[in-house]
C-alpha cells in the first residue's frame, strides 16, 4: 500500500541548485556530514558547485532506484494496444484494454494521443496549439501565454527582437519546422538538442514571467511538435484538471507583416474518470481505456506524463547526502576541504565508506514491477 507520508521524510525542499539546495538534500546537510564550515558563494567549493553536484547525484539516484522522488516529465512514450474485451462489453468490465507505462507514480497525464484511423486524437489535459505557415512563419514576432484570472504571463519573442538573447527566444531563421522545435525548447526550458547544430546554442533555454523573474514558464506549460504536422506546436497546461482551459494564448506579427500563424485556444479535452474516455491507477503507472481507444494496435498510443513520488524518504535523503559528500571528497586536494591527519582515516577510506553505505541504502529502495498478460 502506498505511503502518503512519514514523520522521517525529508521535507526541507526549496529547490535552487545555484544556492546549493536540491530535491533530495541541500548544502547544509552535506557540510554537516563532512563536519566542515557552511558552503557559501565565497567558499571552495562554492554553494553553486555543491548544488551542481547535488543535481547530478539526484539523477544518479533516480537511475539506480529506477524511479524518481521528484517530478520528472517523461515524453513521447510509444505503446502498443491490445483489446482485452469487446467494446460492447467494456461498460461492465470497466475497460476495453490498458497500457503499462514505463514509470510508476504517475502524477499527471500531460498528453495522451491515440491513433483513430487517420490521425492521433488528443484525450488528455487542457491544450492549445500554434500552427506556423510554411511560407510566412518568420513574420511571427511573439507568442504570449498567460495563466487564468489575468495571472502571470510570458512573452516569447523571436531571436533578434530588441533586448533579447538567443537563450530566451526562439530562432526562426531556418524554416517553419525548425521554428516549431525552437518554440517547444523555449517553452520547456531545455537544451535545444534538435536545433543546436543550426543555431549554435550551447546552453538550455529559459523564460521567466514578465512580472516575476522567479516564475518559470516550464512550471506551467509543456510543448511538443504535433506528430502529424511538423509545423504545429501543441501546448499543454500543467495545471490540475480543467483549470488549464482558462489559460490564454495570443500571437503578434512583426510590424507591417502577416505571418499567417493560426492558433486554437486552450480547451479541456480530458474526460478522465471511471466511466469516461480513460482512467488511471497512477501508482501502478497504468492507463485504462473505456470510451475512446486506438483503432490499431502497433505504436497506436503516445503518452507524455509527469511521474515521481510525492515524498522524499529519509533513506533517499541520507543516501544522496552521502554520495554528494563522497563526490566532494573525490575532488578534494586534502588541504582545502578536509584536513587529513595521521590519527584519522584517510580521505580515500572516508570516500569508500560513504559510497558503500549509500549504495546499500539505495539497493533496498527500488520498485519491482510485475507485468501481467
| pLDDT on residue 373 | 35
Q: How crowded is the C-beta side of 56, counted as CA atoms within 13 Å?
A: 12
| pLDDT on residue 337 | 58
d(CA 166, CA 157): 10
182 plus 242 within the same structural domain: yes
62 plus 77 within the same structural domain: no
293-340 pLDDT per residue, tens: 787 778 899 999 999 988 899 999 999 999 999 999 987 654 455 555
62 plus 88 within the same structural domain: no
Among 223-232, 261-270, 299-308, the minimum mean pLDDT is found in: 261-270
Phi and psi (nearest 5°) for 248?
A: -130, 155
Identify which has the larger pLDDT, 81 or 241.
81
**What letters, b where the CB count within 10 A reaches 16 and e where it falls short, cover 273-301?**
eeeebbbbebeebbbbbbeebbeeeeebb
| pLDDT on residue 32 | 95
Cβ atoms within 10 Å, residue 212: 9
106 plus 206 within the same structural domain: no
64 plus 77 within the same structural domain: no
Output the CA–CA distances (angstroms, integers) from residue 253 to 49, 136, 186, 210, 282, in the order listed.
42, 10, 18, 19, 42
DSSP output for 245-262: GG-EEEEEEPTT-----E
Length of the chain: 373
Q: State which of 229, 258, 289 marks the end of a domain.
A: 289
Q: Is residue 9 part of a domain?
A: no
169-219 pLDDT per residue, tens: 999 999 999 999 999 999 999 999 999 998 888 899 999 998 888 899 999
Cβ atoms within 10 Å, residue 357: 15
Q: Is residue 7 part of a domain?
A: no
264 plus 131 within the same structural domain: yes
Q: Is residue 4 part of a domain?
A: no
Q: Can you list the positions of beta strands (E) in 190-256?
A: 221-226, 229-237, 248-253
The whole domain housing 277 covers 72-122+273-289
Above 80 in pLDDT, residue 344? no
Cβ atoms within 10 Å, residue 180: 27
d(CA 123, CA 160): 37
H or E, element range at 288: strand 286-289
Q: Is residue 152 part of a domain?
A: yes
Mean pLDDT of all residues in the chain? 86
Q: Is residue 8 part of a domain?
A: no
208 plus 117 within the same structural domain: no
d(CA 206, CA 297): 38
Q: Is residue 150 part of a domain?
A: yes
| pLDDT on residue 305 | 93
131 plus 261 within the same structural domain: yes
241 plus 135 within the same structural domain: yes
| pLDDT on residue 25 | 97
Chain centroid to Cα 141, Å, comes to: 27
Q: Specify the pTM.
A: 0.77
* Number of structural domains in the chain: 3
| pLDDT on residue 166 | 84
d(CA 152, CA 259): 26
153 plus 240 within the same structural domain: yes
47 plus 131 within the same structural domain: no
Read off the DSSP letter of residue 58.
H
251 plus 332 within the same structural domain: no
Among 8-22, 65-79, 356-370, the minimum mean pLDDT is found in: 356-370
Q: Is residue 24 part of a domain?
A: yes
Amino acid at each position: 500500500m502506498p505511503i502518503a507520508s512519514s514523520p522521517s521524510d525529508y521535507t526541507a525542499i526549496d529547490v535552487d541548485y545555484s544556492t546549493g539546495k536540491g530535491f533530495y538534500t541541500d548544502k547544509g546537510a552535506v557540510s554537516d556530514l563532512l563536519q566542515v564550515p557552511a558552503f557559501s558563494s565565497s567558499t571552495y567549493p562554492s554553494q553553486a558547485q555543491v548544488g551542481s553536484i547535488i543535481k547530478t547525484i539526484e539523477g544518479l539516484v533516480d537511475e539506480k532506484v529506477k524511479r524518481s522522488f521528484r517530478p520528472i516529465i517523461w515524453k513521447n512514450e510509444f505503446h502498443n494496444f491490445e483489446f482485452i474485451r469487446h467494446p460492447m462489453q467494456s461498460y461492465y468490465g470497466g475497460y476495453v484494454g490498458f497500457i503499462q507505462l514505463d514509470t510508476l507514480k504517475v502524477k499527471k497525464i500531460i498528453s495522451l494521443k491515440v491513433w483513430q484511423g487517420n490521425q492521433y486524437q488528443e484525450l488528455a489535459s487542457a491544450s492549445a496549439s500554434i500552427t506556423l505557415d510554411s511560407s510566412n512563419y518568420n513574420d511571427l514576432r511573439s507568442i504570449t501565454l498567460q495563466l487564468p484570472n489575468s495571472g502571470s504571463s510570458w512573452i516569447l519573442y523571436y531571436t533578434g527582437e530588441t533586448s533579447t538573447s538567443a537563450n530566451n527566444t526562439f530562432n526562426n531563421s531556418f524554416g517553419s519546422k525548425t521554428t516549431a522545435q525552437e518554440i517547444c525548447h523555449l517553452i520547456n526550458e531545455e537544451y535545444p538538442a534538435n536545433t543546436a547544430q543550426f543555431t549554435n546554442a550551447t546552453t538550455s533555454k529559459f523564460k521567466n514571467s514578465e512580472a516575476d523573474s522567479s516564475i518559470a514558464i516550464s512550471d506551467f506549460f509543456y510543448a511538443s511538435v504535433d506528430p502529424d504536422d511538423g509545423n504545429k506546436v501543441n501546448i499543454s497546461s500543467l495545471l490540475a484538471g480543467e483549470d488549464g482551459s482558462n489559460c490564454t494564448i495570443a500571437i503578434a506579427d512583426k510590424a507591417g507583416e502577416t505571418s499567417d500563424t493560426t492558433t486554437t485556444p486552450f480547451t479541456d479535452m480530458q474526460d478522465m474518470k471511471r466511466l469516461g474516455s480513460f482512467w488511471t491507477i497512477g501508482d501502478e503507472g497504468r492507463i485504462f481505456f473505456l470510451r475512446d481507444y486506438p483503432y490499431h494496435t502497433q505504436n497506436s498510443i503516445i503518452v507524455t506524463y509527469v511521474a515521481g513520488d510525492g515524498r522524499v524518504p529519509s533513506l533517499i535523503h541520507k543516501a544522496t547526502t552521502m554520495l554528494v559528500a563522497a563526490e566532494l571528497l573525490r575532488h578534494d586536494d586534502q588541504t582545502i576541504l578536509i584536513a587529513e591527519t595521521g590519527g584519522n582515516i584517510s580521505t580515500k577510506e572516508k570516500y569508500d565508506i560513504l559510497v558503500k553505505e549509500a549504495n546499500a541504502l539505495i539497493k533496498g529502495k527500488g520498485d519491482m514491477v510485475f507485468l501481467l498478460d
